[in-house]
Amino acid sequence: MARCISDMYFARGRDFLGVRYPFISGAMTWVSDPKLVAAVCNAGGFGCLAGGNAPPDTFTRQITETRELTDKPFGVNLITLAPAFRDHLNLVSDMKLPFVIFAGSFPKERDVHSAKKSGATVLCFASTESIARRMITYGADGLILEGMEAGGHVGHVSLTVLIQQVLFEVPDVPIIVAGGIATGRYCAHMFLMGAAGVQMGTIFAVSKESCAHLAFKEKFIKSNARDAVSTPQFDSRLPVVAVRALRNRGHDDFARLQLDLLKLMDNGSIGRIQAQEKVEEFWVGALRRAVMDGDISHGSLMAGQSVGLVRSIQTIDDIIKNLAADTEDELQKIADTLCGNRER
């Protein structure tokens, strides 16, 4: 039997995450529920449970349910900007979870230390070189290097540039790459460049096990890469984190919301902090309408540019198996090219 080349490139991610395949299903609010996370884990991948804005008691039940559905390791994603963030952090520390992932904005150093003190392995998102280096200084055990091609809240630097700035320059820290990825063939090249794992979201959002409304999934399947656009910021007085989603009426509603909030700030009716809270409230409600109710006109259809690569609803098991097989095939082709087709 021929030796799988991918075993060599999966090794670091396998050891770090404790999984068979270092393919990560990114945490997606309203989508990454216990059933989806457990399905990814049971298929050999690494699932991430989304904390989002869930009340602490709800979050506790979700963690417990996930543990009941799988005995494999999984991550818990905490949004640093969420009102319940502090409660979520205390919760995961008390429940002794193996992996804690900070997202939304970069955490404070004491937050990283708090999670590590509980025994958790800590992963932090990085959308710029400076954030990546700061998170390492804070004590992060690994990074999720996310390019602007990703869906949801994103930065402004492409994964292509981040790979050169961070992945090539920081070899001692396990780095998971994310943003615009949905094929095993491309994953192979990420592993060749030194990635410990590859995170994807959009492809899992439309999986059979995803709780998302059928209308939501069908909209993704019919969309092209250019349909997933990033929201603008109109004025520096109202800083907003860019959100990549499929353009629809909800996208235009958000633009109008910003303009209305700026007018209220001008006449002193509202402060910057309150305005930013209104922005986050918009996305929470709009995302729920899209995912749970199937409102594809006014709901938020958060999707990465990889939406143009997703063409069918597949089971999680098939997604993971296809990613692994296609990664191996691509690595074999590269080896054949470099070695002149000689036997390995």
pLDDT at 341: 63
Percent of the chain, pLDDT > 70? 98
pLDDT at 1: 40
pLDDT band per the 50, 70, 90 thresholds, residue 344: very low
pLDDT band per the 50, 70, 90 thresholds, residue 281: confident
Higher pLDDT, 276 or 342: 276
Q: What is the mean pLDDT of the chain?
A: 93
Q: 288 pLDDT exceeds 80?
A: yes
226 with 208, same domain? no
96 with 201, same domain? yes
Provide the sign of the torsion angle of the four alpha carbons 304, 27, 159, 15, taken in this order: negative
110 with 179, same domain? yes
- How many structural domains are present in the chain? 2
Percent of the chain, pLDDT > 90? 79
- 187 in Cβ contact with 23 (< 8 Å): yes
Is residue 299, in this structure, part of any structural domain at all?
A: no
205 with 231, same domain? no
| C-beta pairs of 89-95 under 8 Å, 24+ apart in sequence | 89/114, 89/115, 91/56, 91/59, 91/60, 91/63, 92/63, 92/118, 92/120, 93/117, 93/118, 93/120, 94/118, 95/60, 95/63
143: which residues sit within 8 A by CB, 6+ positions away?
Answer: 123, 124, 125, 126, 132, 135, 136, 166, 170, 173, 174, 175, 176
Q: For residue range 99-139, what is the model confidence (pLDDT) as tens digits?
A: 999 998 789 999 999 999 999 999 999 999 999 999 999 99
251 with 328, same domain? no
Q: 285 pLDDT exceeds 90?
A: no
CA distance linking residue 18 with residue 95, whole number of Å: 19
Q: For residue range 296-315, what is the model confidence (pLDDT) as tens digits?
A: 999 999 999 999 999 999 99
Q: Domain span at residue 270?
A: 222-293
Is residue 1, in this structure, part of any structural domain at all?
A: no
136 with 195, same domain? yes
Whether this model's pTM surpasses 0.85: yes
208 with 242, same domain? no
Is residue 116, in this structure, part of any structural domain at all?
A: yes
Reported in sequence order, the residue ranges of 91-190 that DSSP labels E, i.e. its strands, are 99-103, 121-126, 142-146, 152-153, 175-178
120 with 226, same domain? no
154 with 273, same domain? no
Q: For residue range 312-326, what is the model confidence (pLDDT) as tens digits?
A: 999 999 999 999 999
Is residue 303, in this structure, part of any structural domain at all?
A: no
230 with 188, same domain? no
Q: For residue range 152-169, what is the model confidence (pLDDT) as tens digits?
A: 989 899 999 999 999 999
241 with 117, same domain? no
Q: 88 pLDDT exceeds 60?
A: yes
Q: 149 pLDDT exceeds 70?
A: yes
* CATH classification at residue 78: 3.20.20.70
* Segment 225-250 mean pLDDT: 90
